[in-house]
Amino acid sequence: MKRIIIAIDGFSSCGKSTMAKSLARNIGYLYFDSGAMYRAVALFCLNNNLVNSDGIDVNNLRSRMNEIKISFEADPITKNSITLLNGKDVEKDIRSLEVSRIVSQIAALDFVRADMIEQQRCMGKAKGIVMDGRDIGTTVFPDAEMKVFVTASAEVRAQRRYDEIIARGDKADYNEILENVQQRDHIDQTREVSPLRKADDALLLDNSHMTREEQEQWLLTLFKKITEEC
């Protein structure tokens, strides 16, 4: 069967990575989390004093982009994908609220996007991948054979993020999370470079009232239909 590229884009916290991961596992494809790459750049900025009260030190970051190497590897036990920043496991650190607060400003910088997009295209060279993000179907892989655009209401998304943090045993404030979700939606949709938008040929998936199983079936059915047609 022909191997294809699957692009899953959409708003923050609507469960894209969960669905992309399970789809990749079910069909034997590799999964790539493009958001984790922007998060790793944000973490690099926090760790290297490139964030101050005025915001991101853009000129300094531009000159240090060549020091940022992002890769992924599979956890030997859980098989989940782990994000490495310069060879170090940063999977947990990149999910902090501190990183979430600045990541969308960093993802709006043209030189950061150019660098990440180049790396993402390399990851898709051999096909057989599922990649999730904001601009995968529009900019990174405009020719992807399967494109899905996921959405859900901001309140549903904030509640999911809240439940996820509580389940991890950490503290969370629902209103703070909702505010962060809405703020990132705004930045992602209004930025000049690669704004978040549904590709014309992407299928819309509103999962506000869908269970994980229903979602999984929806994606599998679509995948089978597309690969049969290829």
Cβ atoms of residues 3 and 128 within 8 Å: yes
Binding-residue total with ligand CDP (CB under 6 A): 16
**Span 169-208, contacts to ligand CDP by CB under 6 A:** 184, 188
Query: Between the CA atoms of 81, 84, 90 and 94, what dihedral angle is there, to the nearest 10 degrees?
Result: -80
Q: Is 30 helix (H, G, I), strand (E, B) or coil?
A: strand
In terms of CB distance, is 4 or 15 closer to ligand CDP?
Answer: 15
d(CA 200, CA 157): 24
Separation between Cα atoms, residue 143 and residue 230, nearest integer Å? 13
Q: How far is the CB of 67 from ligand CDP (least distance, A)?
A: 20
Tell which one of 103, 130, 154, 199 touches ligand CDP (CB under 6 A): 103
The secondary structure of residue 134, as a DSSP letter, is S
Find, among 29, 28, 34, 39, the residue nearest to 5 by Cα: 29
Which x/- pattern over 44-83 shows residues binding ligand CDP (rule: CB under 6 A)?
A: ----------------------------------------
Binding piece for ligand CDP, criterion CB under 6 A, among 44-52, 59-67, 103-111, 201-209: 103-111
Q: According to the binding rule CB under 6 A, does residue 147 interact with ligand CDP?
A: no
Q: What is each CA distance from 5 to 177, 206, 219, in whole angstroms?
A: 32, 21, 14
- Enumerate residues 28-47 that contact ligand CDP by CB under 6 A: 34-35, 38-39
Determine the residue with CB nearest ligand CDP. Answer: 35
Residues of this chain that interact with ligand CDP (CB under 6 A) are: 12-13, 17, 34-35, 38-39, 103-104, 107, 133-136, 184, 188
